[in-house]
């Protein structure tokens, strides 16, 4: 479904963020992407939601190259891709309900449709009882749930989660991972970029490790690191 063919991304100043990436991800997979800060994880994800274009190579979605999508039609492609970030990106002056509704408003859904879908999706992420709260009245974990609801509201084919638990305590972290697993079980592909060793090891799903812009490891049921885990594993490695 998602494919990278000989993809490189070089930023101005000859900074090589990604080099010759070849990668295929099937519908319904749950893939963790690990690597140091600056290794190229975020760039890889940005290429997928078309925030960046590759310098060379082809990124394709359902056998269609993203390059061939007209800029005018790019927004319609993006509706297939839900995104969740470490910093939530919620609008502070809007309630949880309004934040999710906003994603539907700007794509021109009708008011009736919005009134029906938003509570459903907030219910799904376990925020049905806090729809009227503003982001500042919610915990980090709760805010991230609202973000997940927003990402899901367009029924995307894939969810891209870039360090979604980076700002959360271990409990909330695990809740978010559970939620991702639940979404994945409903058929949505999940791409999770993370530094969290515990999560990756516990998931026991496909792991791709990126180092210095290259894929150095791609295990079907992998762990956070290729070497044997040490005893003093941290909950969170930043």
Partner 1 sequence: MGTRITKIKRTFKEGWDNFRRNGWLSFATVSVLAISLYIISSTMIIGVASNIVLKNVQDKINVSLYFNSDVPDDKIQEIKSKLIGYQEIKSIDFVSKEKALEQFKKLGNNNPSITQALDEIGDNPLLSALVIKAKSAEQYDIIVKAINGSSFAGDISRIDYEENKAAIGRLITIIKIVEQVGLTLGIVFVFIGVLITFNAIRLTMYAHKQEFEIMRLVGASNIYIRMPFIFEGIFYGLFSAFTVMLALLATSKFLAPITQGSISGGDIMDFYLSHFFVILLGLLISGVALGTISAAIAIRRYLKI
Cα 7 to Cα 66: distance, rounded to the nearest angstrom? 12
Q: Is 138 helix (H, G, I), strand (E, B) or coil?
A: coil
From 47, 103, 125, 203, residue interacting with partner 1 (rule: CB under 8 A): 103
Cα 9 to Cα 55: distance, rounded to the nearest angstrom? 5
Interstrand relation of 189-193 and 158-162 (parallel, antiparallel or unpaired): parallel
Side-chain half-sphere exposure of 125, counting CA atoms within 13 A: 28
From 3, 5, 79, 212, residue interacting with partner 1 (rule: CB under 8 A): 79
Piece of the chain touching partner 1 by CB under 8 A; list 73-81, 117-125, 162-170, 208-216 = 73-81
From 117, 130, 145, 150, residue interacting with partner 1 (rule: CB under 8 A): 150
The label of the residue with tokens 């063919």 reads 5
Least Å from the CB of residue 94 to partner 1: 10
Piece of the chain touching partner 1 by CB under 8 A; list 108-116, 171-179, 202-210, 224-232 = 108-116
Q: Does 78 bind partner 1 (CB under 8 A)?
A: yes
From 28, 29, 77, 214, residue interacting with partner 1 (rule: CB under 8 A): 77
> Alpha helices of 63-196 — where are they, by DSSP H?
74-78, 96-105, 111-124, 140-152, 170-185
- Is residue 215 within 8 A of residue 41, CB to CB? The reply is no
Q: Does 102 bind partner 1 (CB under 8 A)?
A: yes
Nearest residue (CB) to partner 1, 107 versus 219: 107
The label of the residue with tokens 């956070």 reads 224
- Is residue 213 within 8 A of residue 17, CB to CB? The reply is yes
Nearest residue (CB) to partner 1, 41 versus 150: 150
Piece of the chain touching partner 1 by CB under 8 A; list 97-105, 117-125, 183-191, 210-218 = 97-105
Piece of the chain touching partner 1 by CB under 8 A; list 19-27, 32-40, 74-82, 134-142 = 74-82
Rounded to the nearest 10 degrees, the angle between the axes of helix 111-124 and helix 140-152 is: 130
Q: Is 173 helix (H, G, I), strand (E, B) or coil?
A: helix
Q: Does 44 bind partner 1 (CB under 8 A)?
A: no
Total site size for partner 1, rule CB under 8 A: 24
Residues in contact with partner 1 by CB under 8 A are 49, 51, 71-72, 75-79, 83, 89, 91, 102-103, 105-111, 150, 153-154
């Amino acid at each position: 479904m998602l494919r990278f063919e000989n993809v490189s991304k070089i930023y101005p100043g000859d900074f090589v963020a990604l080099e010759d990436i070849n990668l295929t991800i099937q519908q319904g997979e749950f893939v963790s992407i690990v690597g140091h800060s600056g290794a190229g994880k975020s760039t890889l994800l940005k290429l997928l939601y078309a925030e960046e274009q590759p310098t060379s190579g082809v990124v394709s979605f359902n056998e269609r190259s993203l390059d061939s999508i007209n800029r005018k039609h790019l927004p319609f492609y993006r509706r297939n891709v839900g995104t969740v970030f470490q910093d939530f990106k919620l609008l502070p002056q809007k309630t949880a309900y309004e934040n999710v509704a906003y994603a539907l408003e700007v794509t021109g859904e009708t008011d009736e449709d919005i009134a029906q879908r938003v509570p459903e999706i907030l219910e799904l992420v376990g925020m049905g009882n806090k729809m009227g709260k503003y982001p500042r009245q919610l915990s980090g974990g709760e805010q991230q749930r609202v973000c997940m609801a927003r990402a899901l509201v367009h029924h995307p084919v894939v969810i891209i989660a870039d360090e979604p638990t980076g700002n959360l305590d271990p409990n909330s972290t695990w809740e978010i991972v559970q939620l991702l697993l639940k979404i994945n079980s409903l058929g949505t592909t999940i791409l999770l970029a993370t530094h969290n060793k515990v999560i990756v090891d516990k998931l026991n799903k496909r792991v791709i490790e990126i180092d210095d812009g290259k894929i150095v490891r791609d295990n079907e049921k992998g762990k956070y690191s290729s070497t044997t885990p040490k005893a003093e594993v941290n909950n969170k490695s930043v």
